[in-house]
Amino acid sequence: MTQMRISEAAELLGVSGDTVRRMVDSGRLAAGRDEAGRLVVEGADLAAVAQDVARPAPVGVVSDESARNRMRGIVTRVLTDTVMAQVEMQCGPFRIVSLMSREAVEHLGLEVGTVAVASIKSTNVVVGVSR
């Protein structure tokens, strides 16, 4: 197992060494001693705390955003693999295809028949003409 000193753990968490020591003292983070008697934490334990600390505060309801093109539609197809997903929607006469993580699809509960809103914002727009 990977062990690291308090200073290393603090650097990885983006907090002070004192904060890590308080986590240890409160039982939030398990620690032990290395051969030299220094306080160390297991990498796996630190990883779990890092994920917990990294959760952002909920943003609440977003009343507006910079994306101006929003289309309400119905999900018509969801293709997923182990990491990514392709979600197709029919928004009126428009077919919208979005690539996102599989995790996002699961979190949103997207499946065929789900009503959703596509928000579209692009810094690049490709325009073609018919001949």
State the CATH number of the domain containing residue 77.
Answer: 2.40.50.100
Whole-number percent of the chain with pLDDT over 70: 89
* Domain assignment of residue 128, yes or no: no
| Helix/strand number for the chain, H first, E second | 4, 7
One domain, residues 73 and 49? no
* Domain assignment of residue 62, yes or no: no
Q: Are 100 and 83 in contact (CB under 8 A)?
A: no
Domain count, the chain: 2
Run of H or E including 8: helix 6-13
pLDDT of residue 5: 93
Output the six-digit token pair for 34: 């290395």
Residue with tokens 């990885």: 12
Q: Which residues in the chain come in under a pLDDT of 50?
A: none
122 vs 131: CA distance, rounded Å: 26
pLDDT of residue 104: 94
Q: H helices of 17-128, where?
A: 17-26, 43-53, 102-108
Range of the domain at 38: 3-53
One domain, residues 46 and 76? no
pLDDT of residue 21: 95
pLDDT of residue 14: 85
The structure's pTM equals 0.57
